Amino acid sequence: MDAEYDAVVFDNDGVLTTPTDREVLVEAIHTAFETVGVTNPSDDHVRTLMGPSVDSLCILAETYDVDPQELWTAREHAAIEAQLEEIEAGRKRLYDDVASVATLKTATAIVSNNQHETIGNILEQYELDWIDAWYGREPTLKGIDRKKPTPYYLELALEALDTEDALFVGDSWVDIEAADTAGIDAAFLRRDHVEGVGLPREPTYEIESLESISGLL
């Protein structure tokens, strides 16, 4: 498919930076539970707090007799701090091929399901001053509902860029779904961590490196 895009929007984790190690996030979840007075959560409850819906979060909070927003705030704060340590230590790093999109002539943005503050820390640490706009999730219950595949943050980015024809680059089915709902094309980046993963919806393009982006433009 041939198109002339005036903007490129990137997912972050697995696209621009390496995914955060799962054990780091698990430890952050335990820290969050301890913050609200829960010292021995079950493994199932740790998994739930890793990526809950609002309903499952509320059920979890009720189980431990804590406020859902208080629990979620503790979870987000712990995840932000843990990931900042990973970023500053260079363990959560930029992929080498990011350099190939740093000089694109189009407007650029990041839309991530990670915390907005975490994306800000990445921009600062790695000096990504070529990114024109960026959106991560708010540390609120509404932020949970607004994550991709919901196109809420993607649509905010498209509005901020004032784009007429954007391309969204992601490494997950939620990215492809969000792009489709927002009415824009999607490029699925098949890095090693998603090798062999199937997609419920066909993306506009499938690529193996960000070096392919300039050719799509």
| pLDDT tens digits, one per residue of 102-147 | 999 999 999 999 999 999 999 999 999 999 999 999 999 999 999 9
Residue after which a domain boundary falls, among 71, 88, 105: 88
Q: Are residues 53 and 147 in the same domain?
A: no
**What percent of the chain has a predicted confidence (pLDDT) above 70?**
99
- pLDDT tens-digit readout, 44-57: 999 999 999 999 99
Look up the domain containing 64 and give its range: 22-88
- Whether residue 100 lies inside any domain: the answer is yes
Question: In what helix (H) or strand (E) does residue 206 lie, and over which residues does it extend?
Answer: strand 205-207
Q: Are residues 102 and 75 in the same domain?
A: no
Q: Are residues 157 and 108 in the same domain?
A: yes
- Residue 2 clears pLDDT 90, i.e. is over it: no
- Whether residue 1 lies inside any domain: the answer is no
Compute the distance between CA of residue 139 and CA of residue 72 in angstroms, rounded to an integer. Answer: 7
Q: Are residues 101 and 160 in the same domain?
A: yes
Q: Are residues 46 and 152 in the same domain?
A: no
Residue after which a domain boundary falls, among 38, 71, 88: 88
